[in-house]
Amino acid sequence: MSHHAFDNDAYEAHLRSLSEASVRLSFNAFKDIPWDDPAYEWRRNDPQFVLSDADVIGAHPWYQALPLERQIEIGMFRFAQIAKVGRQFEQVLIGGIMHHLIAMESGNPEFRYLMHEVTEETHHIQMFQEAVNRAKEQYGIDPQGAPAYFQKLSPLMTQAGIYLPTIFFIGILAGEEPIDHLQKSMVRDGGRQPLISRIMQIHIAEEARHISFAHEWLAKNFGQAGRIRKFLLSLAYPLAMWWLCTVIMKPTRRDLRAMGIPRDVAREMWWRSPASDEHRREMFGDVRLLADRLGIRRGVARWLWRLLRIDGRPSRYRGETHERELAA
């Protein structure tokens, strides 16, 4: 893409396709999830809450050696924690998009598509928080989610939607890709608790459009960047991926204490062991694919990818299943 003129007609056709797909296939948090179905209740003795090795906690020997009851307790908290941080991230996303759109000229097809995305993210926020509410009401599970500093800085981060839009859309991708990868891996494993499975199915279906748009928007805007700006963005790209992956995937100290995960074990899980490094690299196969499409994973930037331990083979296509997942 970096070596060819950007095809704006194809871009606008892609936006129309995404917008039409949002009309054809959309979900409502309180219509499409049977919250009052007894099968969807959180039950403390439900082995479907046991974490698989799709998650770094479930893959760690410390967790695997625990009694079943403790595995279930940690699994319940982990699902609630991911839902809470997902809700918080998507609130920042919506705020930034609304700043981005405020001065947009009439007739720009990005406006319609992004309003579809905001509508979908609103329902994601509702279903994530409703799941957390049920966990709190029934078992007192009340995760912090994102770190306190992230929550306090969130109003400033939304301003990037208007003042630093390319950085903002890199951040969108950095937040969406890890959660999407984790949820796809869990769905492939099967055997998840019905409420969690339904939430993940809905989220995966609609996030596919959101991620597709972010890829195309970045391809368009990187192509218009000058040499110096493109170089700076090539450094921001892997830094954002590393930072937001840590914010979203690694529980806060408070949440680690609530799960009873020792600090030395937590250090191995995030990201101080070969197994955890492999999990993290897997999350970014698709963003490496985009980085190579943009021509920004080379030179100093390539060194930064390696330093952050998120380098590796790019996906051959978006959503490629990795070898470890296929073996599982």
**Per-residue pLDDT tens over the stretch 132-185:** 999 999 999 999 999 999 999 999 999 999 999 999 999 999 999 999 988 988
Query: What DSSP assignment string belongs to 180-201?
Result: HHHHHHHHHH----HHHHHHHH
- Reported as a single tens digit per residue, the pLDDT across 51-74 is 998 899 999 999 999 999 999 999
Q: Compute the residue count for the chain.
A: 328
Q: 94 and 118 in contact (C-beta within 8 Å)?
A: yes
Contact of 40 with 198, CB cutoff 8 Å: yes
Q: Cα separations (Å) of 288 from 36, 173, 270?
A: 41, 12, 20
72 SS3 class: helix
Between CA 218 and CA 221 the distance in angstroms is: 5
- Domains plus CATH for the chain? 27-327 (1.10.620.20)
Residue 190 scores a pLDDT above 80: no
Distance CA 30, CA 50 (A): 26
The predicted structure's pLDDT at residue 11: 95
- Reading the block at residue 140, the tokens are 């007192």
Identify the DSSP state of 40: G
Give dist(CA 179, CA 145) in Å, integer. 13
- Smallest CA-to-CA distance from 42 within 139, 128, 125, 186 is with 139
pTM exceeds 0.85, yes or no: yes
Quick one: pLDDT at residue 323?
56
Each residue's pLDDT tens digit, 117-137: 999 999 999 999 999 999 999
Identify the band that residue 4 occupies on the pLDDT scale cut at 50, 70 and 90.
low
- Which tokens hold the place of 84? 């809470």
The rounded distance, in Å, linking the Cα atoms of 290 and 328 is 27
140 conformational bin, left if phi > 0, alpha if psi -120 to 50, beta if neither = left
CB 178 within 8 A of CB 282: no
**Cα atoms in the 13 Å half-sphere on the side-chain side of 192:** 25
In this predicted structure, what is the pLDDT of residue 24? Answer: 95
For helices 227-249 and 300-307, the axis angle rounded to 10 degrees is 10
279-326: per-residue pLDDT in tens? 888 899 999 999 999 999 999 999 999 999 999 999 988 877 765 544
